[in-house]
Amino acid sequence: EFGMSPTLVTVFTLISGISWTIVYIDIINRGFKDKSYGMPLFALAFNITWEFIFGFLVGNGFDLQKIVTCVWFILDAAIVFTYFKYGRREFPKTVGKFFIPWSVVAFIIGFTTIYFMQLEFQGLWGARYSAFAQNLMMSILFIGMLVGRNNVDGQSIYIAIFKCLGTLAPTIQTYLGTGSKLILILGIGIFLYDAIYIGILYQKFIELGLNPFTRKPVV
């Protein structure tokens, strides 16, 4: 990366990789425990297709980021399973027959959008722009999911915190490495919405009489 030592790049990549891995594992855990899904459909569709494209289709060799991306894809596949297993119960019953078409089209749109985005931008810019753009969408959708459900099913304070940390690290890394102001603006937007999500989720746990970190009743 321009302007950054390889060691610093590795550190930021590991912070992001470990943080998002924790997020995915906890989303899977909460999904099965709560019989729900913890990532909104369009966030999930764009996320897993990004990982598939940049983990398996684009680029040669296996650097640290590509290995991390492949691990994320495997974990995200389990989240997709929880979505299709439990998602129908949250879909309006009056139009239940459209659940599968509605869902499948989301993955098709996610894949084609990101694939053609990486074709139109040179080098790593397609991966960068699409990653931060869909991450901003994800941050907004997480808040929408929480507010819409009005409960904490499929969610945890650890998911919210490590999601924030997992994107803050590559924001700093990419800005210092490339000087991209657009990436910086997207990263700041993600951070702000993630902070709001943490706050709303924390408040919801308190309203439910639960400790946000242990999920045990507050005596």
pLDDT in tens, 38-70: 999 999 999 999 999 999 998 766 788 999 999
The mean per-residue pLDDT over the stretch 12-32 comes to 97
121-154 pLDDT, tens per residue? 988 899 999 999 999 999 999 999 999 999 999 9
CA atoms within 13 A on the CB side of 32: 8
The token pair at 14 is 């590991």
Residue 4 confidence (pLDDT): 79
Which residue in 13, 54, 14, 27 sits closest to 142, CA to CA?
A: 27
3-state secondary structure at position 59? coil
Cβ 134 vs Cβ 50: under 8 Å: yes
Task: Give percent of the chain above pLDDT 90.
Answer: 91
Residue 3 confidence (pLDDT): 66
Decide if pLDDT at 219 tops 60. yes
Angle at 11 between CA 134 and CA 165, to 5 degrees: 45
- The DSSP output letter for 215 is -
Q: Supply φ then ψ for residue 143, to 5 degrees.
A: -65, -45
As a whole number of angstroms, the distance between CA 89 and CA 69 comes to 30
Residue 2 confidence (pLDDT): 58
The token pair at 76 is 């995200």
The mean per-residue pLDDT over the stretch 196-219 comes to 96
Cβ 191 vs Cβ 19: under 8 Å: no
Cα-based distances in Å from 48 to 92, 165, 198, 216: 25, 19, 23, 32
Decide if pLDDT at 186 tops 70. yes
- The DSSP output letter for 95 is G
Decide if pLDDT at 1 tops 50. no
163-172 pLDDT, tens per residue? 999 999 999 9
Residue with tokens 């999904």: 31
The mean per-residue pLDDT over the stretch 106-126 comes to 94
As a whole number of angstroms, the distance between CA 6 and CA 72 comes to 22
Task: Give percent of the chain above pLDDT 70.
Answer: 98
Predicted TM-score (pTM) of the model is 0.94
Residue with tokens 């991450």: 135
Residue 93 confidence (pLDDT): 92
